[in-house]
């Protein structure tokens, strides 16, 4: 059974990868031109991908051996109901799924066509003869 202190230490490593990925993503570009600028951008993209992938790893530390497990298998997309049934939280795998759902819902909530209102003719005030009274 892994030591709780070792588990915390392994989780801290994964957390640092998350911080590094965010730092790479938000770093400012140094004053470079031409080929050096292109190489810097390519390296920045690779660094971000590497750090982001490692931040998704499951870390374990057993008997002094750190193991980072990264699932590289393609994710199967979640099929959400389109027949009017409710979408439950269990159907959403991550925050990204929720964001995609919200983004998709905006498409259904936007006005794409306006319809002119039905204008009723003004009703006359007074006695109505519709039922044959006072005829």
Q: How many domains are there within the chain? A: 2
Would 62 be classed as within a structural domain?
A: yes
Q: What is the pTM of this model?
A: 0.45
Mean pLDDT (whole number) for 19-42 = 86
pLDDT given for residue 25 in this prediction: 83
Mean pLDDT (whole number) for 111-124 = 72
Q: Out of 44-48, 61-65, 89-93, 104-108, which region has the weakest mean confidence (pLDDT)?
A: 104-108
Would 41 be classed as within a structural domain?
A: yes
Specify whether the CB–CB gap between 22 and 47 falls below 8 A.
Answer: no
Q: Are residues 98 and 81 in the same domain?
A: yes
pLDDT given for residue 23 in this prediction: 85
Q: Are residues 64 and 82 in the same domain?
A: no
Measured in whole angstroms, how far is the alpha carbon of residue 34 from the centre of its chain?
A: 35
Residue 108: domain span: 75-114
Q: Are residues 92 and 106 in the same domain?
A: yes
Would 131 be classed as within a structural domain?
A: no
Checking if the pLDDT of 135 tops 50, the result is: no
């Amino acid at each position: 059974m892994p030591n709780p202190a070792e588990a915390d230490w392994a989780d801290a490593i994964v957390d640092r990868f998350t911080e590094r990925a965010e730092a790479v993503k938000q770093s400012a570009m140094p004053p470079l031109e031409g080929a050096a600028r292109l190489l810097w951008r390519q390296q920045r993209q690779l660094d971000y991908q590497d750090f982001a992938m490692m931040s998704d790893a499951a870390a374990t530390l057993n008997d002094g051996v750190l193991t980072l497990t990264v699932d590289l298998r393609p994710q199967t997309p979640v099929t959400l109901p389109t027949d009017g049934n409710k979408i439950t939280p269990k159907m959403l795998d991550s925050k990204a799924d929720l964001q995609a759902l919200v983004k998709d819902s905006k498409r259904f909530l936007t006005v794409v066509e306006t319809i002119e209102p039905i204008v009723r003719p003004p009703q006359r005030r007074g006695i109505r003869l519709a039922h044959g009274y006072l005829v």
